Amino acid sequence: MKIKSLFILLFLSAFTFIHAQITDYSIFDKKFNFYIANDLGRNGYYDQKPIAELMGTMGEEIGPEFVLATGDVHHFDGVRSVNDPLWMTNYELIYAHPELMIDWFPLLGNHEYRGSTQAVLDYTNISRRWSMPDRYYTKVFEEKGATIRIVWIDTTPLIDKYREESDKYPDACKQDISQQLSWLESVLANAKEDWIIVAGHHPIYAYTPKEESERLDMQKRVDSILCKHKVDMYICGHIHNFQHIRVPGSDIDYVVNSAASLARQVEPIEGTRFCSPEPGFSVCSIDKKELNLRMIDKKGNVLYTITRKK
C-alpha cells in the first residue's frame, strides 16, 4: 500500500509539472498577494540570485504586498551585529529588485540563532524593509473586505535539540517556552479573521533528515495548540524542499516552502499530498472566499497549488 501511494504521489507530481506554467497573470488580479521565502542565507550561492531576480520580475505582474520570511534569511553562521557586512552581501544587495523593496516580515531560524539574535531584531531599525517587532508576533491585513491574520512564532527555542546545544545556539535556552505558547494560545483563541496562517521555521510533520526529535517537539508543543483553534495553514521552511501534508483528523494544511538555495531530495510521509526537491518560493493569494498558495520553482513554473475555500 505504501509503494502504491508513493507511485500515485509521483504520478500526480509529474502531471503538475507538465501543466503548471504561468501564462495568465490575471489569476492574481483583485487578490491580496504576498510572497513566502526562506533559507536564503548562503551569500548568493546556489540558485539564490536568479530566484531573487525571478521574484522581482514576477512581482511586476503579481504585485506582492510583503514577504513572509520564514527563517534563515541571512548567512548560515548567523550575524554578529547590525554592522556585519553579511547583511549587505546576503540580503540588501541580492534582493535589490525594486519590486522586492517591500516589507519583509521575518522570524528567526536556527541559523540566525547561531549569531546575535538581538542584531537580527535590531536590524528593523536600520533597514527600510526588515520589519521584525519581536521574536514572535502577529499582524492582521485587510483588503477589500477580506481579512487574514498571520502569526509568526519563534520555533528554535521550542525544540530541545537547540536548547541543549548551548555552545552553538547560546540564546535558544534563554527563551521562555511557556510564555510563547501561552501567547500563541491566546492569539488563536481570539482570532476572528477570514484566514489564519501560523508561520514558523521548523516543520511539524514533514520529513526532515536532521532529527526526528525536531518534529516530535513541534507536534507536542505547537500542533497541540493549533488543532484546538481555527487555523488554515502552518507554513515553515528549514528543510529546503516543497511539501504539502494533510494529517488525518486535522483540517490544517501543513506547508513547507522550499529554499532559494541548496534544495534537497524529498521523502514523503503519510498524508503527503505533494513534495518536490525543486528550489523556489511561494505566492499566497486571498480574497473573501478563497485562499491559494502556489509553489513556484526557479523557472517560474507553478509546481502545485493549495486551495482553501469558504
Mean pLDDT value across residues 190-205: 97
Q: How far apart are the first and last CA of the chain?
A: 33
The region of weakest confidence among 22-26, 207-211, 283-287 is: 207-211
Burial classification of residue 60, based on how many CB atoms lie within 10 Å of its CB (0-12 exposed, 13-18 middle, 19 or more buried) = exposed
- Domain 25-307 belongs in CATH node 3.60.21.10: yes
Q: Is 97 annotated as a binding residue?
A: no
User: CB–CB of 13/45 below 8 Å?
Assistant: no
pTM summary value: 0.92
Per-residue pLDDT at 20: 63
- Kindly report, residue by residue over 237-268, the tens digit of the pLDDT: 999 999 999 999 999 999 999 998 888 888 89
Per-residue pLDDT at 21: 73
- Kindly report, residue by residue over 88-126, the tens digit of the pLDDT: 778 888 899 999 999 999 999 999 999 999 999 999 999
Q: Is 201 annotated as a binding residue?
A: yes
Q: What percent of the chain has pLDDT over 70?
A: 94
Q: Is 238 annotated as a binding residue?
A: yes
pLDDT of 1 above 70:
no
Per-residue pLDDT at 173: 96
Per-residue pLDDT at 2: 41
Closest CA to 66 of 94, 93, 90, 99: 99
Per-residue pLDDT at 19: 44
What are the sequence ranges of the domains in the chain?
25-307
Q: Is 240 annotated as a binding residue?
A: yes
Q: Is 72 annotated as a binding residue?
A: yes
Q: What percent of the chain has pLDDT over 90?
A: 75
| Distance in angstroms (rounded) separating the CA atoms of residues 65 and 143 | 11
Per-residue pLDDT at 129: 94
User: CB–CB of 111/78 below 8 Å?
Assistant: yes
Q: Is 125 annotated as a binding residue?
A: no
User: CB–CB of 65/97 below 8 Å?
Assistant: no
Q: Which residues contact 91 (CB under 8 A, 6 or more apart)?
A: 40, 73, 74
Per-residue pLDDT at 266: 86
pLDDT of 209 above 80:
no
- Kindly report, residue by residue over 24-56, the tens digit of the pLDDT: 899 999 999 999 999 887 777 888 899 999 999
Torsion sign across C-alpha atoms 9, 14, 15, 19: positive
The region of weakest confidence among 80-84, 118-122, 244-248, 300-304 is: 80-84
User: CB–CB of 258/280 below 8 Å?
Assistant: yes
